[in-house]
Amino acid sequence: MPEFFNVLPPDEARALLFEHLRAVLPAEIMATEDALGRVTATAVHSPQPLPAFRRSTMDGYAVRAKDTYGASEGLPAFLAVIGEVPMGQAAEVELGTGQATIVHTGGMIPATADAVVQIEHTQTMAGEMIPPFEIEVFKAVAVGQNVLQVGEDVALDAVVLPAGHLLRPQDLGGLLALGITEVSVSRQPSVGILATGDEVIPPQEMTGPGQIRDINSYTVAGVTQQAGGVPLLGGIVPDDLAALQAAAADMLARCDMLVMSAGSSVSVRDVTVEVVDRLGKPGVLLHGVATRPGKPTIVGVVDNKPVIGLPGNPVSAMVQFDMFGVPAIYRLQGVQTMPRRGRVWARLGQNIASESGREDYIPARLEEGEERLTAVPVFGKSNLIYTLVNADGLIKVPLNKGGLLAGEWVEVRLF
């Protein structure tokens, strides 16, 4: 049996992939409200300052700050309230010395005012708050206090979002606040997915002796959708070089990325390496990653399209696709730095053995105690899908650490 060649640690393997992956997909215009999870194709500039007018951050009274200087509960300032600024309307009241006007949170303040006194720090001199009336002010305010200035949030023509930014709910809100109702985003990568193996059958069929249902196509498709890609299932290809070559070439021609599961281990029946090299240049970049599970993963690029060969075992396939397929999907959309993933810290529930020189990823279940989370490893062979189903995330054992001890704090990357 031949040996794995060019085995690299995961970080170096990803760097090698990115060196050969320079293409960013074309842009398309879409409604901002529908762009959640998409990636900006170009930098977005603000067409106006935000706020566009000076706004009150409190319910209270717009004042000239100097008219409140020295005010206290024992010696309040007396101001004449001469009007009110209705919400959604211009502040047309002009303030003179010792005057104020009613304002509401988010409302415009007059040009002649420079601060807002909170209503809690005042008291009316009469029963009804219908101007004109007088108030006592028990606390002085400084110039600009309780006021949002023009452009304080965003200046005119400022870059509000860079190119390659993954759009979140708050980003959509920020764009719409500026009246940006359409945004240029990168096209979502199409990911062709092939399952291989004479023993693999569709999930809808009843298994016979020696047969297993296709799992990997659907887990990879689900992860692809979560990362912003569009999966295209190409079905199951038998263990035949010509058949796999034809199917792979067809899928690669139709998609921006190709994923093949099984056929990556080093045996005489596994032909994925040969198929990838025949598809085009540069072909296979590496066959073997210093990880467990999933050491025999294949990483390649053909004509600026990533090609990933995953092990057949479902745990290995899902872990390795998350390590290489997901970053490739983001990179095709122009994302240079992977989005932050959900992570929690927990105490390790039991020892984890490992070997120095490789990264191990151990499925774990999180148990909530009175004072802390406990990460309980879910041990199982990499061909047992329910080790993932019964887990909440993955514990990473670092490359050069020979295992983890019960009671240690560990980081769990959530699914």
Q: Within a domain: residue 239?
A: yes
Residue 395's beta-bridge partner residues?
A: 362, 412
Angle, in degrees to the nearest 10, between helices 241-254 and 272-279: 50
Look-up: residue for tokens 């794995």? 4
Look-up: residue for tokens 């979560």? 226
We report the CATH number of the domain holding residue 109 as 2.170.190.11
Query: Rounded distance, CA 392 to CA 313, Å?
Result: 19
Least-confidence region, from 3-12, 27-36, 133-142: 3-12
Provide the greatest CA pair distance for the chain.
96
DSSP letter (8 states) at residue 88: T
- What SS3 state is found at 190? strand
Same domain? For 216 and 248 the reply is: yes
Q: Within a domain: residue 337?
A: no
- What SS3 state is found at 218? helix
Task: State the number of CA atoms in the 13 A half-sphere of 24 facing the CB.
Answer: 16
We report the CATH number of the domain holding residue 14 as 3.40.980.10
- Tell me the pLDDT tens digit for each residue of 114-125: 999 999 999 998
Same domain? For 42 and 181 the reply is: yes
Containing structural domain, residue 177 = 27-50+153-186
What is the pLDDT averaged over residues 357-372? 89
- Tell me the pLDDT tens digit for each residue of 393-403: 999 998 888 89
List CB contacts of 94: < 8 A, sequence separation 6 or more: 110, 111, 112
Same domain? For 181 and 84 the reply is: no
Query: Rounded distance, CA 208 to CA 202, Å?
Result: 12
We report the CATH number of the domain holding residue 168 as 3.90.105.10
pLDDT at 16 over 90: yes
Give the Cβ contact number of residue 67 at 10 Å.
22
Query: Rounded distance, CA 222 to CA 237, Å?
Result: 20
Number of structural domains (the chain) is: 4
**Bigger pLDDT: 266 vs 262:** 262
pLDDT at 161 over 70: yes
The helix or strand, by DSSP H or E, that contains position 213, with its residue range, turns out to be strand 212-213
Same domain? For 32 and 181 the reply is: yes
Outline where 110-182 has alpha helix (H): 169-177
Q: Within a domain: residue 61?
A: yes
- Tell me the pLDDT tens digit for each residue of 187-217: 999 999 999 998 999 999 999 999 999 999 9
Same domain? For 223 and 317 the reply is: yes
Per the document, the length of the chain is: 415
Query: Rounded distance, CA 339 to CA 343, Å?
Result: 12
Query: Rounded distance, CA 293 to CA 358, Å?
Result: 10
- Tell me the pLDDT tens digit for each residue of 67-87: 999 999 999 999 999 999 999
Q: Within a domain: residue 283?
A: yes
Q: Within a domain: residue 1?
A: no
Q: Within a domain: residue 393?
A: yes
Same domain? For 348 and 323 the reply is: no
Distances (CA, A) of 398 to 224, 351, 353, 401, 411: 26, 14, 12, 6, 11
Per-chain mean pLDDT for the chain = 92
Same domain? For 32 and 167 the reply is: yes
Q: Within a domain: residue 338?
A: no
Q: Within a domain: residue 410?
A: yes
What is the pLDDT averaged over residues 162-180? 95
What is the pLDDT averaged over residues 3-24? 84
Same domain? For 46 and 173 the reply is: yes
Same domain? For 32 and 178 the reply is: yes
We report the CATH number of the domain holding residue 388 as 2.40.340.10
Residue 299's beta-bridge partner residues?
A: 286, 308
Same domain? For 134 and 73 the reply is: yes
pLDDT at 383 over 60: yes
DSSP 383-407: T-THHHHT-SEEEEEPTT---B-TT
Least-confidence region, from 129-143, 153-167, 251-265, 277-291: 251-265
> 113 and 94 in contact (C-beta within 8 Å)?
no
The pair of three-digit structure tokens given for residue 404, joined into one six-digit string: 């983890």
